[in-house]
Structure 1
Amino acid sequence: MKQTEKWYVGYFFTINSIIGAGILAIPWAYCTAGWALGITCQIVILILSYSASYLMLSLWSRTHAIVDLIESGVSVSKVQFKDIFSADSSKNYIDSENEIDDIKPLIENRHFDLYEMIKLTISPFMSKFLVIAYIFAQTPALAGYFSVFAISLSSNVPILGFTCNLYDYDSFFNECRVLYWAYMTIFAAFLIFLAFFDITEQRWMQGTLTLFRFLVIAIFAVTTIYAIASDSELEDDGNNNANPEIFNGKHIGRIFFILCFASLYENIIPTTMSFVENKSTNLPKVLNFAILTFNGIYILVGVLLCFALEDPEEMATLNWRDYSAGSSQSSRSWWTYIIAYIVVLLPALDILSSFPIVCWNYSDNIMSIFHGHDSDRKNDKSIRFMFRLSMILSSFMIAFFFYELGLILEISGAFVLLLSGFFIPIGALAAQKIIKSKSEYDFKNNRLVALTTIVFSVVMFEGAFKNNRLVALTTIVFSVFMFVGCFIFLGFSES
């Protein structure tokens, strides 16, 4: 893969891989769990995302060095799971009769999926668990994209002679579901066509749809600020009766898992950044800008909509379906129809950019089970297409029967948390035991930022500790604790 793209191209792809279906459920999650709890969880996720992002780069760079050694005929042993957390660094995993010069871990021009990284560094059983986590994380996510696309369009575009909101129906078989299925089929056909093209061949579409995302978010902000300031509703001429919760611990499982789904993207980094030039300078730049962008946007949208909407929909854009700027429906201004169409329809277009990134990454990891980094078949376009097609069709079948975005994202977010907060840190720790030379993406002693939360006591921004071990261990403990704990709270909140 050629490394010729500027940093902002990687930024567009990264933003599109993050801000997708997840942002549509964030206002609902913030409003039910409380805006203060939402901000608290968002800050915790920001820290987790930051540490996991750089641990991913650390793992990626050492994977390059490991593969270079293997291809030069050197025997490299894998780290046993029980040894990953040991502080002992004396064991040598590189077996060579010849003297090996100091190895410099660098991210070069080869693409490795997370599955390959884990398989090359840790004893085999861990890669099997990774596959299970991928299936439960990404298949519901892709189904959620189908749901967003179909519901957004069925709410506004009457291809069968009517429009409807599927969330208004209780029964399974109804006329709205037929319209929903019709749009799902159209979306599936487009995705199957898109499956013939690699990510870099979509750069113009990705860049354009990034701008659309920011346009919709700006409309969210402006219209809700106006509604709050004028004490008006979005869709009627009544007063703003929003009474947002401040802190409702009962729903911590809901909001935390949805924020995990919407925010944790680290397993996709190799897909969105393999083609970026001058990686030493540009990868940290892309990560820093992306993390600040989406966390700022989520807090802004989550809090503002809590104070502007009395009863937010699980898919936030549906609150703008009949936007009237505080007027009655009979006296709506012409420009309010334009805003309504932009808000409800553009997220459907944005899904066109999010789905390929997530799906291609998912299919590449599954494909790596059968065809590793050293297999020519992995670069065969027909094989890539077949794996992508299987991902598209499996998520299509799930969305065919299940459309409730909140529930879909809660399930997916739980396993996304494991990908970013468990598998990436243990991979980084294992790789560091094999390649002991310092990577340029390791945490350095240049700045310490300590934040205290209920269970996540000390963490860092860039350069918190002398090495990755404490960062990785803290991330793992916190992620496993939240994975188990939030499932318990999720059961309470949904019962």
Structure 2
Amino acid sequence: MAGEITETGELYSPYVGLVYMFNLIVGTGALTMPKAFATAGWLVSLVLLVFLGFMSFVTTTFVVEAMAAANAQLRWKRVETLQEEEDDDSSTASDSDVLTRDNDERAEKRPILSVQRHGSPNLFEITDRVEMGQMASMFFSKVGVNLFYFCIIIYLYGDLAIYAAAVPFSLMQVTCSVGNDSCGVEAEAKYNDTDLCWGPLHRVDAYRIYLAVFTLLLGPFTFFDVQKTKYLQILTSLMRWIAFAIMIVLALVRIGHGRGEGRPPLADFSGVRNLLGVCVYSFMCQHSLPSLVTPVSSKRHLTRLVFLDYVLILAFYGLLSFTAIFCFRGDSLLDMYTLNFARCDVVGLAAVRFFLGLFPVFTISTNFPIIAVTLRNNWKTLFHREGGTYPWVVDRVVFPTITLLPPVVVAFCTHDLESLVGITGAYAGTGIQYVIPAFLVYLCRKDTQLAFGYGTINKHGSPFRHTFWVGFVLLWAFSCFFFVTANIVLSETKL
């Protein structure tokens, strides 16, 4: 058992795991949430945020249950393999030795193994890191596995497109404002992409120049293996929380001094489409749960800790978004919330303005190569055939190219971050956050009953054990697909 634990890497306490999960969920999506709140209205936004937080919690418990079931399957297979090896060894011994060993096994080993198979709590201990792709291969059919990888790949493409657009957009907003007679970013309505930036260059030209530089600097990492270092993770997390704290405090101070400009509507259903996608994207963590949960040293109260995490995240999202929509006018809120603080009338200190304005550049740039390598590896896994290897050109050129090119092309065509986040969250995000966990938990429960007998209790089973919850999650996922698609079609028809 000790050997299994060391495979997960360095263990950490449940509360450290809580912090890691908080940092994982609260990312780029939080920066696009304020504008989505302002567009959809504060009451609709609050209700939808709480509901989607609850649904994400439900599917997180589904994934944890599937992880425990997968661990039980792997553990039992190892026990059976060990038994077969012992039986093979005993067949080469003398008849008297065989008789003695058989008696010993019947007296000691068989009952213990039988008890383990029919419900020993330790059988479902989460000690092996079983990634979602492996769980899909264990519980899904071949078609289901291919659909799983297709969904993951689409989501990662959306992620990369958001990152590829966010960095050049932030650089354009900050540097074009400095290049003009302004000391910072003004209301978005005052600027169009066709406005001048520096000399004869338009703002859109500056954006595309920054996108080209971004691609040339970070794109080559897609062709190599990149690992996220511990110190880089600490640095980016520290920068993130300094930035979030500054924005919340500055917005509260501005509102407290009676200078809040926001008068958000109660409800505006035309903005629900983007809000839905942004909120789904902002609660995304299911695909990373195996790497996050497995190293937790004590998993006794895992469900309670996850619930506490979601409560804290809801409170944080609510605080960030409500201070934003009452501090700034809805039509002046930018897609990337940090850019609203690059204005002289909001922040007097130039260093703080530039730190907040360029904050996405530093944090997102460190994540882009990691996401790109993850996407490239998923492509390889999808087309991998047992025992086969790829030619050098396919492995080192084709896969990295098909990974890098599509998101850069999308970012070249648009920098509408709210729509990019909304569409990614509403389609691929819904698949990863709702559909895959629902099917995983349903099929793993059936598999567990067949393998270990009916009535077997999974110690990490979801509190939402009734099949109703699986159906409810799938119904909600279908509703999200239908609503967003219908909304897009209606919007295009009006245009």
Q: What TM-score does the superposition give when structure 2 sets the normalisation length? A: 0.75
SS in 2 for 1:419: helix
Corresponding residue number in structure 1 for 2:485: 487
Distance, in Å, in 2 between the alignment partners of 1:361 and 1:292 is 30
Distance 1:388 1:115, change over 3 A: farther
Corresponding residue number in structure 2 for 1:169: 192
Which of 468, 474, 477 aligns to 1:476? It is 474
Corresponding residue number in structure 1 for 2:416: 404
Distance 1:299 1:12, change over 3 A: same
Corresponding residue number in structure 1 for 2:52: 45
Corresponding residue number in structure 2 for 1:219: 246
Report whether the alignment pairs 1:116 with 2:134.
yes
Report the CA distance between 1:267 and its aligned residue.
1.7
- Structure 1 unaligned segments of length 5 or more: list them: 75-97, 233-239, 326-331, 444-462
Report whether the alignment pairs 1:294 with 2:313.
yes
Which of 20, 31, 35 aligns to 2:27? It is 20
Corresponding residue number in structure 2 for 1:93: none
Corresponding residue number in structure 2 for 1:344: 357
User: How many residues are matched?
Assistant: 430
SS in 2 for 1:435: helix
Larger Rg: 2
Distance 1:383 1:5, change over 3 A: farther
**Partner amino acid for 1:55?**
F
Report the CA distance between 1:283 and its aligned residue.
5.7
* CA-to-aligned-CA distance 1:220-249 (integer Å, 9 cap, x gap): 2111112222222xxxxxxx4422111122
Greater Cα shift, 254-263 or 279-288 = 279-288
Distance 1:107 1:491, change over 3 A: same
Distance, in Å, in 1 between the alignment partners of 2:66 and 2:444 is 6
Report the CA distance between 1:121 and its aligned residue.
0.9
Which of 271, 274, 279 aligns to 1:254? It is 274
Report whether the alignment pairs 1:268 with 2:291.
no
Check conservation: 1:280, 1:440, Cα contact below 8 A. no
Report whether the alignment pairs 1:4 with 2:10.
yes
The percent of aligned pairs where both chains have the same amino acid is 17
Corresponding residue number in structure 1 for 2:324: 305
* CA-to-aligned-CA distance 1:421-463 (integer Å, 9 cap, x gap): 11111111101110134323212xxxxxxxxxxxxxxxxxxx3
Distance 1:296 1:368, change over 3 A: farther
Distance, in Å, in 2 between the alignment partners of 1:323 and 1:389 is 42
Check conservation: 1:55, 1:424, Cα contact below 8 A. yes
Corresponding residue number in structure 2 for 1:423: 436
* CA-to-aligned-CA distance 1:247-298 (integer Å, 9 cap, x gap): 1223222211111112222122234445x24262586576345423432221
Report the CA distance between 1:493 and its aligned residue.
5.8
Corresponding residue number in structure 1 for 2:86: none
**Partner amino acid for 2:410?**
I
Which of 215, 218, 227 aligns to 1:190? It is 218
Distance 1:211 1:399, change over 3 A: same
Q: What TM-score does the superposition give when structure 1 sets the normalisation length? A: 0.75
Report the CA distance between 1:134 and its aligned residue.
2.5
Distance, in Å, in 2 between the alignment partners of 1:192 and 1:439 is 45
Between structures 1 and 2, the one with greater helix share: 2
Check conservation: 2:42, 2:264, Cα contact below 8 A. yes
Distance, in Å, in 2 between the alignment partners of 1:192 and 1:317 is 28
Distance, in Å, in 2 between the alignment partners of 1:376 and 1:218 is 51
Report whether the alignment pairs 1:442 with 2:464.
no
Distance 1:194 1:127, change over 3 A: closer
Check conservation: 1:272, 1:357, Cα contact below 8 A. no
Distance, in Å, in 1 between the alignment partners of 2:141 and 2:443 is 10
* CA-to-aligned-CA distance 1:390-426 (integer Å, 9 cap, x gap): 5344322321222111111121011201211111111
Check conservation: 2:140, 2:443, Cα contact below 8 A. yes
Distance 1:492 1:244, change over 3 A: farther
**Partner amino acid for 1:190?**
L
Distance, in Å, in 1 between the alignment partners of 2:435 and 2:167 is 31
Report whether the alignment pairs 1:280 with 2:299.
yes
Distance, in Å, in 2 between the alignment partners of 1:172 and 1:375 is 56
Distance 1:271 1:31, change over 3 A: same
Check conservation: 1:313, 1:319, Cα contact below 8 A. yes
Corresponding residue number in structure 2 for 1:145: 163
Check conservation: 2:195, 2:203, Cα contact below 8 A. no
Check conservation: 1:242, 1:308, Cα contact below 8 A. yes
- Structure 2 unaligned segments of length 5 or more: list them: 1-6, 83-112, 450-455
Q: What is the RMSD computed on CA atoms of the aligned residues?
A: 3.8
